[in-house]
Structure 1
């Protein structure tokens, strides 16, 4: 199927189904968001080697988590294409809930590490939720629907990190217990409420193991020049994003002396800005200016935001960049929407699994890369400390992504024909 060719329209949007998946994603993000402010500090407490040593271990945790997702996501996507989205989401939520219990009880670093591996294996609901949205929305409405899911991410990050920072101030283990309760509640919600989005007649006829491994899934991304180009952009997008997941908590503590509670509130601000952009601007802007312009503009805003963060010598300058970073989020929904139009309904799960694998592949390198850059930049033996270098690298990556995106989608520009 060519890049400019539309598939037959999906069934009319089922608002109830979209609402159900919105709540599912929201609860999952709350569970993950709660542990963000405390996991690096718990690792630091277990290692007892200071910030630089903790940064190294945080990088290792992030890399292994991503590597596990890299292998697991295509399998989960292919299973959802064959057996439906609902059972995959339910198993994911149940697995996460039990895993958070394990992490809450972990008496040592290695058992916490095992818990993080299990999290990578079971964190499938985000991938399957995107396929769910593609099932129930027509192509021209998908950017707006993906933006709505982005709003769920934003709301989750408003409440989750702030709550996690507050709970972590009481006990570093408490956020994990709350996250476990949320994930298990999400399983019960899905079991009794969440409908199936992929009817049997639209499912893949069989589960094919050769397409479910990472390399097989990534081959799907070569189905057209546009999908391949946007796959490169997706990889750069995820790679740059790991600077936040890996170094932000330690960076903010080192450079601005923000503790767990302050970081939680800052992440809540990030979530508020991002959720507002995703929920209220994405659909309006893509409808008015088109997906291509919004995609490139979002990546441009991200480039500027990370450059400001890397150069910010004071906390208030860093905060100025947060609204710009929220506008970076404009790029995600149109990018996914354009890619979903280029594959068939029975391949949406594989596509989302491949996209998640790209993020996980970036995560194999990103956490270690940014953690090591940050640790090197603040090493005690260095005469000049440059703690913002990791954020400047992220700005370069996103800027490169903006150039690739503009070229990959140039057929969408006015007065041009598709390739």
Structure 2
């Protein structure tokens, strides 16, 4: 019965990702319209908006993971969708920056549902199929980034508020359907008997990783990789505008291309490649290709070379689902939510640091006040981070038995 709920869980995730994709391209302009400042001031507000959203997700993700281990996945997922509807509704009606940020607070506090989505997926997938399932989840991410910016570009013709109205309505519809059709995945006998409130805060949640010595070093790999990816996401739109003169339509197209590569990588490459290489080798290959992709982004002097670099990135999509599958194999059923919460804590912490660091590097290395004209600096810094994570992963995985290194 719970297996039948997987399409609905993926639908919830898709609405979240597509919704964010719809509002990303217009948010800097929306903030400038609300605040009345310059484009540069709006860009900084945009970076802080991303950091606020990630900060709230950082603090709430572990709590949702722990609560889902105790009470089940379904009520937490329903809460997250309702919060997305309310948060975007507040933003859509905002007449000032204060109400805009209140909407972001509501949406950010309740949007930390990826930890619960991951736990639901583990609940309904046998261990040998989890890399494929996490690849499917990644494909939904990518597909959301394809559809979201395209829809946002179309809807924004009706005004800068229209994408927020559209996301609020879509989230409300998803809530109604999930309320009627989403089954629970966590069996009563697999639920925690008591709540560990220490694990419900972002740093106490990391104690869940401490109980699994093999996962501690891989946590550093996830942290460094997440830092690089959050820098990339934060600077992508202002980087395209500065280096290539992109407007909202061009940024939407390139974001869609980015999502398409993720769909191809995680929807097609992962199911084919991970069973042949094994999870450990797939992790190392994906991280290595991610390093190469980031360097190519920073070097791309024309939009066409940027798109070529995006094509290379499809192969790098194997690292995250392979890592998730590897980690889930080594965690008890009643701690899947807690461990996913710990991993989300790492990712969300970097969601705070990454946007601020990335936009700071871009502003410091571009324009008339640049120390050195090097707009690709955030991508080069990201490549260095992923390289360090690759080294940690290699040292960790080579210590395993050969059967675990060479096979699934």
Contact residue 133 and residue 145 of structure 1 kept, 8 A: yes
Contact residue 274 and residue 282 of structure 2 kept, 8 A: yes
Distance in 2, Cα, partners of 1:171 & 1:34: 13
Deviations 1:155-187 (A, max 9, x none): 111111111122224311111111111111111
Q: Which has the higher contact order (CA 8 A, sep 6+)?
A: 1
Partner in structure 1 of residue 211 of structure 2? 223
Q: Please list, as runs of the form range in 1=range in 2, the aligned pairs for 1:319-398 lying within 5 A after superposition.
A: 319-382=307-370, 384-398=372-386
Distance in 1, Cα, partners of 2:316 & 2:211: 27
Note if 1:243 corresponds to 2:231.
yes
Partner in structure 2 of residue 119 of structure 1? 107
Distance 1:313 1:49, change over 3 A: farther
Partner in structure 2 of residue 313 of structure 1? 301
Q: CA deviation at 1:362?
A: 0.9
Distance in 2, Cα, partners of 1:319 & 1:325: 10
TM-score (norm 1): 0.92
Partner in structure 2 of residue 157 of structure 1? 145
Residue of 22, 42, 66 corresponding to 1:78: 66
Partner in structure 1 of residue 20 of structure 2? 32
Deviations 1:338-377 (A, max 9, x none): 1112221011111111111111111221111111111122
Note if 1:59 corresponds to 2:34.
no
Distance in 1, Cα, partners of 2:224 & 2:310: 20
Partner in structure 2 of residue 141 of structure 1? 129
Consecutive unaligned residues in structure 1, runs of 5 or more = 1-12
Aligned length: 406
Residue of 388, 393, 406 corresponding to 1:400: 388
Partner in structure 1 of residue 397 of structure 2? 409
TM-score (norm 2): 0.95
Deviations 1:307-358 (A, max 9, x none): 1111112111111111222322210001011111222101111111111111
Distance in 1, Cα, partners of 2:24 & 2:340: 24
Deviations 1:251-277 (A, max 9, x none): 101111111111111111111111121
Q: CA deviation at 1:19?
A: 2.3
Partner in structure 2 of residue 41 of structure 1? 29
Distance in 1, Cα, partners of 2:228 & 2:401: 27
Q: CA deviation at 1:110?
A: 2.1
Deviations 1:212-248 (A, max 9, x none): 1112111111223321111111111211111232111
Residue of 268, 273, 277 corresponding to 2:261: 273
Distance in 2, Cα, partners of 1:88 & 1:294: 32
Distance in 2, Cα, partners of 1:86 & 1:292: 32
Distance 1:202 1:15, change over 3 A: closer
Distance in 2, Cα, partners of 1:417 & 1:377: 41
Q: Secondary structure at the match of 2:402?
A: coil
Q: Secondary structure at the match of 1:336?
A: helix
Q: CA deviation at 1:57?
A: 1.4
RMSD: 1.9
Consecutive unaligned residues in structure 2, runs of 5 or more = none
Distance 1:92 1:381, change over 3 A: same
Note if 1:206 corresponds to 2:194.
yes
Note if 1:171 corresponds to 2:159.
yes
